[in-house]
Structure formats: C-alpha cells, structure tokens
Amino acid sequence: MKKTIFSLALGTFGLGMAEFGIMGVLTELAHDVGISIPAAGNMISFYAFGVVIGAPIVALFSSRFSLKTTLLFLVALCAVGNAIFTLSSSYFWLAAGRLLSGFPHGAIFGVGAIILSKIAPPGKVTVAVAGMIAGMTVANLVGVPLGTWLGHAFSWRYTFLVIAIFDALVILSVLAWVPNLRDRSTARLTEQFHFLKKPEPWLIFAATMFGNAGVFAWFSFVKPFMVNVSGFSEGLMTAIMMLMGLGMVLGNLFSGKLSGRYSPLRIAAVTDMVIVASLLLLFAFGEQKTASLVMGFICCAGLFALSAPLQILLLQNAKGGEMLGAAGGQMAFNLGSAIGAFFGGMTITLGFSWSYVTLPAAALSFSAMTSLLLYGHLTAKKRQANARALA
C-alpha cells in the first residue's frame, strides 16, 4: 500500500507544480511571449476552468474503465497538456495547454481516493488519503520554488518541461505500483444529486469558491507584488515562494491540530477572518518587506488551513452523494482560482497599482466568511426547530 500512496503522492506533486508553479514565472512568461502580465495571469484561470470542466465529465465516463486505466489516462493528459504549454508561443495554444493540463486535476484526486479506500485497512483510509494529498503541499514547499528558480535563471519553459517529464515518470510509477481495481458502485447517478436540493451544501461551495478566489486574487500576482510593491529583487523570489509554500504546509497541519478542539465551521470562519485582515494589512503595509512576508505567509497558511474543515463540512452535507460533493468541492476551489486571477488582473488592467490587488482579494475572502456565517445561522435555526418539534 505504501508504494501506491507514494505513486499517488507523486501525481499530486505534479499537479501542485503545474497549478501553482506558474505564479513564480508569470513575468518571464509575459515578457517571452509578448503579452501583458494580467493576460499571462489568465493562464491560471484556464487551468482552473479545465478542472471545472473535467471533474464531472470524468465522473460520468470513468465507470466504464478500471481505476488504474482511468488514472493512467488522466496523468497522460497532464503530461500532454504541460508539453503543449511548454512548446507554445501563441496565446491560443498556451491557453489550450493550460486547459488540457487542468482537465484531469480534480479527477485524479477522486480516483486516487477511491483506490485508497479499497486497499487501506479499516480506520486507515483518512491517513492514506492525507498521504496522497501531501504531495501537493510538498510541491508548494519544494517544487514551486525550484520552478521559480528555473524560470528566473533560464526560462519559464524549463519549468514546465520539468513538470511534463515528471508527469511521464508518474505514469511509470502508476504502472508499477497501483493495483488494477474497478469501482463497482451500484448507486444511481440521479440519487447522488439529492443533497443539492438543500441550501447548506451550496453555502459551503460558495465559501470554498470565494475563499480560494480571495487568496488567489493576490497570490496569482505574488511575484510582481513582491518585486514592484515590496521592493524584493527577482533573485529572491525562489526563497519567497518557498516561504509561501511552508505557510501552506504548516497551515494544513495547524488546521488538523485544531480539529480535535473546535468545529470545522469555527475553524473555517475564523481562518477566513484572519485572511481578510492579512490582505488589508498587505494593502496598508505591503511596501515594508517584513510585513509583506509575514502577511503573505499568513494568507498562504490560511489557504490550506481551509481545506480540511471545508471538506468535512461538504461530506457532512452531501449524504448519499459524497463523491459528487467532493468533486463539487474541487470544482468550487478551482473556479475560485479563476475568479481570483481574473479580479486581480482586472485591477491592474483598470490602471491601479499592484498593491490594489489585495482589495478585491479581501472582498472575496469576506464573501467566503459571510457564506460560512449564513451556513451557521441556517443550521442553528434548523437545530432549534428540531428541538422544539421533539419537545
């Protein structure tokens, strides 16, 4: 089982590098291709749209094939998409490469979780899935800073060439270490949609989307922000990206530690409030290097501190359609990436300075917190009504 977990973690490591690696080479991409930095930022949105489109399509057709075959196909799409992006110079083909490489993202997590649920011993499924997801957090700590250094020292194309080659190696690991299993779920597809008739899951989807959009409106342009606002040299961006990646790893761990003492709703709502405050402080004090690093670290920690509690809330509110709920969470997360990158880029397109990208980011994060507070109010009212009915 350990080799299977390692293979799946390699897969999520590649996904993490592809999704987040572009932030560290955004200016190099824009200069090399001859487009504006906001236009280059749209490549983040195209990847996210690929995830949103791909998750439901793969869910509909994957039952016809074994889980291993589906996984191999998905990883191969990642390799091809990143290769197209690496070799392209026109805006159309760059966008096509990002769309294709994002297409398998959510489905890889879903298929990997099903595989681990079938082979992990009772009580060990959560630990196994956490091991798979760890690949993405390590990517932000090690892989993304490495990609940033490659882009600065050589070319952004080297960054994505390494990702494409790495995806090809992941295919070999899947062939060698992932067992050939098939998902034999007998639940009708229509039954899995019943939980969507209630407002609660929609509020969690909204919190997931707006929460990710808030951080990404700033983080999508972290390099020009750190260089043009905070005054860091481009040569320091590798270290800065590593610091942001460390924040993501520690945020995920810290959230897990808190889960034994506080409800997922409280953890998520307070985290969103901290992110809003950090983004406003970035706007006010972004020109000070220490403040910029500290607030940026907190924002990135908050991004992954939200992941676990929001996943738990989705599972609690998707009874009978847990897999669809998980897929919806991935769609909301990546739709948030697209929305955040769009609003951040629009701020620059309208003529505002780089420091102003934090303001739409704070507004989006505030919307996420509001969604969670509405969810809490709604669930509290339902509990009171049920208590009165039983009295």
| Residue recorded with tokens 């070319």 | 155
Q: Which of 42-56, 80-94, 106-120, 187-201 has the lowest mean pLDDT?
A: 187-201
Q: If you average pLDDT over residues 157-174, what whole number do you get?
A: 96
Q: Which of 178, 210, 230 is the last residue of a domain?
A: 178
Q: How many other CB atoms are found less than 10 A from the CB of residue 175?
A: 12
Q: Pick the residue with more confidence: 76 or 333? A: 76
- Which range in 106-110, 227-231, 241-245 is most confidently predicted, on average pLDDT? 227-231
Give the pLDDT confidence score for residue 297 in this predicted structure: 96
Looking at residue 2, its amino acid is: K
- 183 within 8 A of 61, measured Cβ to Cβ: no
Q: At what angle do helices 199-219 and 307-316 cross, to 10 degrees?
A: 160
The string over 84-107, giving b where at least 16 C-beta atoms fall within 10 Å of a residue's C-beta and e elsewhere, is bbbebeeeeebbbbbbbbbbbbbb
Q: Is 183 inside any structural domain?
A: no
Q: Is 41 inside any structural domain?
A: yes
How does residue 186 score in pLDDT terms, banded at 50, 70 and 90? low
- 267 within 8 A of 305, measured Cβ to Cβ: yes
Give, as one character, the DSSP assignment of residue 160: H
What CATH number should be reported for the domain holding residue 256? 1.20.1250.20
Burial (CB < 10 A; 0-12, 13-18, 19+), residue 300, is buried
Q: If you average pLDDT over residues 343-351, what whole number do you get?
A: 91
CA-closest candidate to residue 7, choices 106, 120, 135: 135
- 144 within 8 A of 24, measured Cβ to Cβ: yes
112 and 37, same structural domain? yes
221 and 131, same structural domain? no
How does residue 271 score in pLDDT terms, banded at 50, 70 and 90? very high
197 and 166, same structural domain? no
Q: Which of 155, 178, 201 is the last residue of a domain?
A: 178
pLDDT at 124 > cutoff 70:
no
Q: Pick the residue with more confidence: 80 or 312? A: 80
Q: Is 311 inside any structural domain?
A: yes
Give the pLDDT confidence score for residue 363 in this predicted structure: 97
- 108 within 8 A of 11, measured Cβ to Cβ: yes
108 and 250, same structural domain? no
135 and 205, same structural domain? no
80 and 51, same structural domain? yes
pLDDT at 58 > cutoff 80:
no
146 and 81, same structural domain? yes
Q: Is 117 inside any structural domain?
A: yes
Q: In angstroms, rounded to a whole number, what is the distance separating the alpha carbons of residues 317 and 309?
A: 12
Q: Is 188 inside any structural domain?
A: no
- 59 within 8 A of 323, measured Cβ to Cβ: yes
Range of the structural domain that residue 237 is part of: 193-381
272 and 173, same structural domain? no
Q: In angstroms, rounded to a whole number, what is the distance separating the alpha carbons of residues 349 and 382?
A: 45
Q: If you average pLDDT over residues 120-149, what whole number do you get?
A: 80
How does residue 307 score in pLDDT terms, banded at 50, 70 and 90? confident
Q: Is 347 inside any structural domain?
A: yes
How does residue 158 score in pLDDT terms, banded at 50, 70 and 90? very high
17 and 166, same structural domain? yes
Domain tally, the chain: 2
pTM of the full structure: 0.78
Q: Which of 178, 207, 227 is the last residue of a domain?
A: 178
278 and 152, same structural domain? no
H or E segment and range at residue 67: helix 67-87
314 and 165, same structural domain? no
Give the pLDDT confidence score for residue 96 in this predicted structure: 96
Distance (Å) of CA 100 to CA 11, 31, 81, 85, 323 = 16, 23, 5, 9, 23
Q: In angstroms, rounded to a whole number, what is the distance separating the alpha carbons of residues 271 and 207?
A: 12
CA-closest candidate to residue 376, choices 293, 256, 270: 270
User: What tokens does 39 get?
Assistant: 């236009």
Give the pLDDT confidence score for residue 290 in this predicted structure: 95
Q: Pick the residue with more confidence: 319 or 309? A: 309
258 and 286, same structural domain? yes
Q: If you average pLDDT over residues 15-19, what whole number do you get?
A: 92
